[in-house]
Amino acid sequence: MILLHTSDWHLGQTLHNARRHEEFEAFLGWLLDQIRLRRVDVLLVCGDVFDTIAPGPQAQRLYYNFLTRVAATGCRHVVVVGGNHDSPSFLEAPRELLRAMSVHVVGAASDDPDDEILCLRDASGALEMIVCAVPFLRDRDVRRVEAAEDIDDKDRKLVAGIRRHYTEVVGRALALARAGTPDDGRSRTAPVVATGHLFAAGASSGEGLRPMYVGALGQVPAEIFHGDLAYVALGHLHKAQKVGGNDTIRYSGSPLPMSFPEASQGKHVLLVELGPGAGDAGDPHDARPRIEAIEVPVFRELARVRGDWDAIAAGLAQLAARDINALLEVVYDGAALIPDLRARVEAACAGTRLELVRVGNEQQVRSVLSGAGGSESLDDLDCFEVFQRCLDAGGVPGDQRPALLKAYREIVDLLSIEGRQGADGGDGCAS
């Protein structure tokens, strides 16, 4: 069985109001080619298919056109699970229609483990793989709110609830795999694969990004994934990586950079080939999957120029000389006040294929953050450090700060869980 693991498409995303429809269309066309070329049997899309809970018509058209074309590649099954940016009801609305095309959609968690278990069969009807299609687990899915609980209680209960959910779903799937073997006449159990859209402990949010705060999801240990799982396909973090050094628990990362800091990351999808003994603890022969990271081409560059005016002017001249089609961010961090900064940048970009999407002026915010003459910029601080500065500036007494910080954490946690991160694809603090 050959799987292709991808996630975090964020169809419909705009980068500082710049539309990216052509980039998404190019990626999905490339993905279809890879599925066909590499004879993929199962495509796993692990959450955040769309960037918002109400995707526009272009994003929807891309998604449904892609799904209708997958069958022509020879891919037998597509599994799509919901992420924190997705609307479960929107994803699941055409579920029965899509099932006729062997597209299986699980948008939201269920109280019944069987609702998240997909038994994939070959043309003869024999069981060849079981997928624990676990979507993004929202707070309300895994715990009950109790009076007077604090943020630490909430974190502990969330972790316990997520662990319990995986234990029930995976345990049921492994039992089905073992029970299905005699009927299929096979000597080995069918491999069991799990999905997830969460923040696993030991993973990194990505180079150049502030630490993502996603409540207890940032503390979910890799041990929640049963050792007999053949592979765990994760989404939510945009950087492709292993979890805790484990080859079989992986994030595919986003296929396109969702922010300028992500532009330096290589983007990938993961090709996973499962041998006949994959996931069978009793038969280790040929059990370990072979995994290949396939690099996604850059369909449109994200260019960033930073410095004083001389450095910015030189950088823009270099980009213009390359004649590249790119989205452009300019960040001025010089000491001199330049009131017409945007006009200067726009003049320098005139006649080029650079689309200016953001001009940041750190000189204007520096004094607010660290006093006149300071050297810190907003990019140096995460949202909790900014809040701390606000407490300092307001002269809030020390004995009042713990309660305020806890309340602030709950607000940030709620924004992250509900998927209300900035459309820039930044961290949960951005809101």
Check for a shared fold between 2-295 and 301-430: no
From CA 300, how far away is CA 32, in angstroms rounded?
A: 19
The answer to whether the predicted template modeling score (pTM) of the entire model surpasses 0.85 is no
Topology of domain 301-430, CATH: Double Stranded RNA Binding Domain (3.30.160)
- Computed over its alpha carbons, how large is the radius of gyration of the chain? 24
3-class secondary structure, 110: coil
Residues 104-148: tens digit of each pLDDT? 999 999 999 999 999 999 888 889 999 999 999 988 888 776 666
Q: Which residue, among 5, 2, 56, 402, has the nearest Cα to 232 in the 3D structure?
A: 5
Q: Is 125 exposed, middle or buried (0-12, 13-18, 19+ CB in 10 A)?
A: exposed
2-295 placed in CATH 3.60.21.10: yes
353 pLDDT above the threshold of 90: yes
Residue 208 backbone zone (phi > 0: left; psi -120 to 50: alpha; other: beta): left
pLDDT at 385: 72
What is the rounded CA–CA span in Å between residue 315 and residue 321? 10
Average pLDDT along the chain? 85
How do 268-273 and 290-295 pair as beta strands?
Answer: antiparallel
Rounded Cα distance, 48 and 26, in Å: 18
* Predicted local confidence at residue 337, as pLDDT: 86
Phi, psi of 350 (to 5 degrees): -60, 135
Give the residue extent of every domain in the chain: 2-295, 301-430
Q: What is the pLDDT of residues 360-380, one digit of tens each?
A: 887 765 555 555 444 455 555
Instruction: Report how far apart the first and last C-alpha atoms of the chain are (Å, whole number).
Output: 41
Taking CA atoms, 121 is separated from 126, 172, 190, 324, in Å, by 5, 18, 10, 47
pLDDT at 286: 52
